[in-house]
Structure 1
Amino acid sequence: MATKTITVDQLIAEYAEPIAGEVGYDPADYDATAQGLATLLRDVANELSSMDQTSEWLQDAAADLDAIARLGDDGPKAQKLLKRIDSTLYEAKSDLELC
């Protein structure tokens, strides 16, 4: 069975708009790169309570995206990080939609 490959572009397409929209940000104002997504996530996290679990998830995903910006988004280490980011952003998006 083939393993699903995740890219930064896929993460941006799936998560940037719904997460940014929860606090009134426009993802088009950010670069469509790992670093741009990390900055967007940090900005959204800053709008949330620092005690909020969603804020922590966004900060964690942003830190992992910083590593992806350095590593690139190919290779086994990067894929492991991208899968973790995907899971984290899924949880954050779901939590924000419940609010």
Structure 2
Amino acid sequence: MAQAAILNCPQNAPRASESNGLSYLNISAVKGPFGIVERALLIWSTSGNSWPIASTVYNGNPELLSFANMIRTTTTAVGCSGIKCGERHATACFFFSS
């Protein structure tokens, strides 16, 4: 699923099904110590540091969606894929719940 979602580095995130969470990132290619998927996970995980979180209940803030997908207690499996398309990197992660 994740591999199909990043085919040709779409500018916008593909639609997730109602049963799966989806985090998608399309950014300028950057050289560094992290791989494509690792960089996306780092970006998503630090987004939680940028917002005051007063509750453990996700409030629907789209800026926190990828972070919320990563820490959701019902997630039982994650599938990620990353690709370089010219000067862009695309990453998709699907989050599956039981």
TM-score w.r.t. length of structure 2: 0.35
Larger proportion of helix: 1
The structure showing larger relative contact order (alpha-carbon pairs under 8 Å, at least 6 residues apart) is 2
TM-score w.r.t. length of structure 1: 0.35
Larger proportion of strand: 2
Larger Rg: 2
